[in-house]
Amino acid sequence: MSRARADEEEYWHSSKFRAFTFDDEDDELSQLKESKRAVNSLRDIVDDDDDDLERVSWSGEPVGSISWSIKETASGSTSSLEGRDSSLQKGSSSYAALPKQVSSYSLSSLFKGEDHHVSCRQMGFPSESLTDTGVKNYAPELRRPKAEYKDYTSDWSPKDTVRRMQRGKVCSLERFRSLQDKLVLLDEAVAGHDGNVITAVLIFLKRTLRREILFRELEVRQVALCHLIHFLKETGEQKFLLDLLRFLDRTEEVALSQYREHLNIQDVEKRREFLKGCIGLPFSAEDTSHIQDHYTLLERQIIIEANDRHLEMAGQSEIFRKYPRKASILNMPLVTTLFYSCFYHYTEAEGTFSSPTNLKKTFKIPDKQYVLTALAARAKLRAWNDVDALLTTKNWLGYTKKKAPIGFHRVVEILQRNNAPVQVLQEYVRLVEDVENRLNLATKYKCHDVVIETYRDLKDRIQLTAYKCKVERGSADEEKINSILNNTVRSAY
């Protein structure tokens, strides 16, 4: 009887269940520390000896990654367990104490959420050592916290939705399903005066409404309409934009949008044919004239480019040998084409397509623009005789005089920029009417004769004496100043 009582006492004392105590080692904090130690020991078993080296599977993905664990699970646990057992046998002496029986434990069980208590027992660890906290420490929760989903699922009103979007919060617009709700949302976005929010709502409406309904509602909402038109132009949705403009009966804008498509055509012949077709579009009278000039200019450029390429390759023209072309003339603006023509074809007759006078007459180029462009081209070639002829005119009596529609001060600046000689500069500095500007230009570009003559005409002895210090001693300019000063002294007596 006493033996039975002794066995019973041993049974109850040997049970894994213990009575409730107030000891610190039984509280939750100690259990948490114990679970962390167990997980850390589990990590040491699974990892290789060298923590700095990254293990890569045959698929090229790091071992232990999420995608690797999924593929490893799908490929079966048998091969992975055998490989793991072999790696454990090659490890340090601390691994030798582990059980050698085949275990069903794998890293994928942590990601799959399998019964890790069974696996831990087979690995030699108590099932109670792996708490939820320990597992999350090794394989963290990959899903978003549920608190973050409230921005997507909450039943926000249109006004609240717009306010949250203004603050940068992500809000789902998919719950606004009725047309009335969508229009209220758009009106609230417009009332908020935030262009990004308006554009976001318009993109949502564009995706969820039929075009006819969207166009009809936007017709009475001009602010939103302007935002959508600008958005379509920026994103290049040409077909949708044309449909919208046709619905609004904006024929000129439709024509301009179609004309803008020529920028996307790289082939010159195809662009020329496209521009020819654009002439008949419903443009205004002024725009129609511009389209016609664009087509004529491109047609002229094609002819000039073909002829000049042939002359350049044949080497028959001296100017092309001396100044090779740096770029093609195709698709260049009118002013660039005129400069090119004045540079390479200045002396050609008016009947040729490449003649500068032909271009001026065909495209009605103003005299000021023509003189400015031709002067820059001829000065770059240092053709000073052509510059003189360009600025010389005859009256009905046959008298000649210099005339510059752009002003002689600009002529001087262009000539100086192209390193014109002082003699050439002085000739045109003298023609500057304003005395102060004339003196400034003459002093700036060291046209001494002009400065001396101007001070002489002004009878400014003081300035003339001061300017004597700026010329070279013993030069002809100094002698000229002395002569003028001496003559003024004699005339005074």
SS (H, E, C) 257-310: HHHHHHHHCCCHHHHHHHHHHHCCCCCCHHHHHHHHHHHHHHHHHHHHHHHHHH
Burial (CB count within 10 angstroms: exposed 0-12, middle 13-18, buried 19+), residue 42: buried
Residue 144 DSSP class: P
One-letter amino acid identity for 99?
P
Instruction: Say how far apart CA 465 and CA 463 lie, in whole Å.
Output: 5
Question: Does residue 319 contact residue 344 with C-beta atoms inside 8 Å?
Answer: yes
Distance CA 443, CA 417 (A): 16
Strand-pair partners of 401: 393
Per-residue pLDDT tens for 324-383? Answer: 998 999 999 999 999 999 999 999 998 899 999 999 999 999 999 999 999 999 999 999
Token pair belonging to 475: 């030069």
Residue-wise over 222-248: b if at least 16 C-beta within 10 A, else e? Answer: ebbbebbbebbeeeeeeeebbbbbeee
CB-count burial class (<10 Å; 0-12, 13-18, 19+) for 201:
buried
Q: Concatenated DSSP letters for 42-54?
A: HHHHHS-S-TTSP
Tens place of pLDDT for every residue, the chain, 493 residues? Answer: 555 666 666 655 555 555 544 444 445 555 555 555 655 554 544 444 444 444 444 444 454 444 444 444 445 444 444 444 444 444 444 434 444 444 444 434 434 444 444 444 444 444 444 444 444 444 444 455 544 444 445 578 888 899 989 988 888 888 898 999 999 999 999 999 999 999 999 999 999 999 999 999 999 999 999 999 999 988 888 889 989 998 998 888 888 888 888 888 899 999 999 999 998 888 888 888 999 999 999 999 999 999 999 999 988 888 999 999 989 999 999 999 999 999 999 999 988 999 999 999 999 999 999 999 999 999 999 999 999 999 998 877 778 889 999 999 999 999 999 999 999 999 999 999 999 999 999 999 989 999 999 999 888 888 888 888 888 888 888 888 888 888 765 554 3
CA neighbor of 137 nearest in space, from 35, 31, 64, 26: 35
Q: What is the pLDDT of residues 19-49, one digit of tens each?
A: 544 444 445 555 555 555 655 554 544 444 4
DSSP class per residue in 363-402: TT--HHHHHHHHHHHHHHTT-HHHHHHHTEEE-TTS-EEE
d(CA 171, CA 471): 79
Q: Shortest CA distance to 111 belongs to which of 63, 59, 69, 76?
A: 69
48 CA to centre of own chain: 47
Q: At residue 392, what are phi and psi to the nearest 5 degrees?
A: -105, 130
Q: Are residues 388 and 380 in contact, defined by beta-carbon separation less than 8 angstroms?
A: no
Q: Note the pLDDT tens digit of each residue in 292-340.
A: 999 999 999 999 999 999 999 988 888 999 999 989 999 999 999 999 9
Distance CA 271, CA 331 (A): 10
176 with 160: CB under 8 angstroms? Answer: no
For residue 475, what are the CA distances in angstroms to 339, 421, 468?
Answer: 41, 19, 11
Torsion over CA: 285, 288, 293, 299 (sign): negative
Distance CA 65, CA 72 (A): 10
For residue 135, the one-letter residue type is V
